Chains A and B, each alone.
Chain A
Amino acid sequence: MTDETIIELLSRHIDGDLDPHEERELTTRLEEDPTLAARLQTMRDLRSSVAALAAADEVPAELDRVIEPLLSGRPEPLTTRPWARWLATAAVIVLGATVVIEVHRRNPAPGIESLARIAEEPRADADKPFALAPLPTSSVPVEEQPLGASDRLLASPIPEIELEEPRALEVLGPLAEGDGFTSGREPAASQRDDLAAARAAPVAKGTAEGRSEPPDTAIARRRQESEATAEKSATASEADAAIRAWDAETPRGQAKLFVFIDGKSAWREFTPSASCKPGRYTVRIVVSGGVVREARPVGGATSASPSQRLCAAELIVDLEIVEVADGEYPAEVVVECRSAGH
């Protein structure tokens, strides 16, 4: 074993990075060679010293003052404005997590199938995690980026922050207990239990409002908020345009589920059946290994609009998770039908 290998083992040992075999090997070497043990102790001391240097550092107060224009250029933190938090939730409902199911106009409607059944169908990529978009990076090499931009920042006005207005929910209705089971197949008892459990659970996990408000009231309130916000938005919003573009590009029967958790977004394509049905569903988002693995519907279809030839569905996941911990999170899904001319 070379000296360099030993040093690397020592270094990894103090970081807890050795596997059991390497750990045993190092222990043997340490018992045989006292100088190695002294070296290990020195390495530990240096590590502690570097940590002590870090712990002792303080940010100059002046820095906060200089950064202030950037801070004040943003909306107030949402946590200080409950109404804004709800607005954000509404935005998340409408825009944050969307699945669009497109059914071609000329397709004969093969019958109405619930989204639950659709999603329960086996998929080839069932074990594949959500695909993640590439990390946005500047196209300008860092070496070529100008220095001293902060000086210019201080002298220049703060640019406007464009916040997308939530799009109107067209078919949202209050979530009654019977919804989800009015037509189509009757859900299994276990599904009813799941649905009840999901409804009883906080709709927006991690928010005080979500915990203290009954889901139906919360939904009605979000609906009012999103409608109020939508009145202010332009008729052809960016979101609509984006969905239209998406519709145009997406192959028939393909759908995408978007999930936003802890500032992270992920999406996954899947293939639903050829028809869809408007209504409200409940799903469970399954997070495993810090990755959204699955959206598992636990409810059935709702309102009847049986012959939607051109029907787009949106799965709107009302979900806010502060930390991406493994587990299952209740979420709400809205399937929205669009006009044939869309």
Chain B
Amino acid sequence: MWQTWLVDFDQVYERFRLPVWRLARRLTESEEEAFDATQEIFLRVWRGLPGFRGEAKLSTWVFQIAWNYLRGYRRKMGRTLNLVSEDFDGECDVVASVRDSGPDPERRAEATEMLDRVEDALCRLPEHYRVVVWLRDGEDLSYQEIADTLDVPIGTVRSRLARAREALRDLVES
């Protein structure tokens, strides 16, 4: 109730709109799905904010809501992958607009190609690998914050992240 004066939804939205969108984009298969998912997540944030009492960091709390929603969504859509997918055919076009930075056309093309490959490899990673790589390398969350978000022990985060990075390397180089 009145605590929302201290943690205002406007501020939460402003701060987390991009991170939530990015996570949704990585765990859904199209921009349209990510768009709907982001709305759903912020609706849950909006509903839950009056009850937010600060036991967790705000970022962890928001990412928890996002992850729980996206995981449920993926299950509903039958998209939970337990193995690295070799035949992924979903859309991975999120970086299409990114690739025009840098002065040197040749290096720019190389960078673009590398980003393409990494994005594509990310899409092929199982979701429990993908989310941990994204939260650490994309969102710069600490191991503890990732553990809190995913509700797993911190040791699991360490080992899972190592395996995920190795799997990502294999996919990029393959």
Contacts and interface: CB of A to CB of B under 8 A. Distances in A.
B97 A56 contact: yes
Interface string B148-174: 000000000011011101101100100
Nearest to A76: B10
A261 B1 CA distance: 16
Interface residues of A, number: 67
B162 A59 contact: no
Given A63-B38, A91-B2, A11 B138 contact: no
Contact of A53 (B8, B71, B98): B98
Interface in B63-78: 68-69, 71-73, 75-76
Contacts of B3: 260, 263, 265
Interface string B124-135: 000000000110
Contact of A66 (B39, B111, B163): B39
B75 A70 contact: no
A17 B51 CA distance: 34
* A interface SS class: helix
Interface residues of B, number: 72
B88 interface: no
Interface string A1-45: 000100110111001010000000000000000000001001101
Nearest to B1: A164
B138 A67 contact: no
Contacts of A88: 5-6
A91 B6 CA distance: 11
Contacts of A289: none
Interface string B72-99: 1101100000000000000000110110
* B interface SS class: helix
Interface stretch (A135-143, A173-181, A183-191): A135-143
Interface stretch (A113-121, A144-152, A195-203, A331-339): A144-152
A77 B134 contact: no
B162 A7 contact: yes
B53 A53 contact: no
A62 B165 CA distance: 33
A262 B54 contact: yes
A58 interface: yes
B118 to A, nearest CB: 4
B9 A70 contact: yes
Contacts of B162: 4, 7-8, 10-12
Contact of A57 (B5, B25, B42, B69): B25
A142 B111 CA distance: 38
Interface in B28-72: 31, 35-36, 38-40, 42-44, 46, 48, 51-56, 58, 61, 68-69, 71-72
A145 B5 CA distance: 27
B138 A63 contact: no
Contacts of B108: none
Nearest to A51: B137
Nearest to B56: A135
Interface in A82-100: 88, 91-92, 95-96
Given A7-B162, A57-B18, A43 B169 contact: yes
A134 interface: yes
A260 to B, nearest CB: 6
A52 interface: yes
B27 interface: no
Given A70-B9, A265-B53, A52 B72 contact: no
Contact of A50 (B21, B75, B134, B166): B134
Given A46-B118, A46-B165, A53-B118, A145 B2 contact: no
24 contacts: A7-B163, A17-B143, A39-B169, A50-B137, A51-B137, A54-B138, A57-B21, A59-B18, A60-B21, A60-B31, A67-B17, A70-B13, A70-B46, A133-B53, A134-B55, A136-B48, A141-B72, A142-B72, A163-B1, A262-B6, A263-B3, A263-B6, A264-B55, A265-B3
Given A11-B165, A74-B9, 15 more contacts: A4-B163, A15-B136, A50-B138, A54-B138, A58-B97, A60-B31, A67-B13, A70-B46, A74-B8, A88-B6, A132-B53, A135-B53, A143-B72, A150-B43, A262-B54
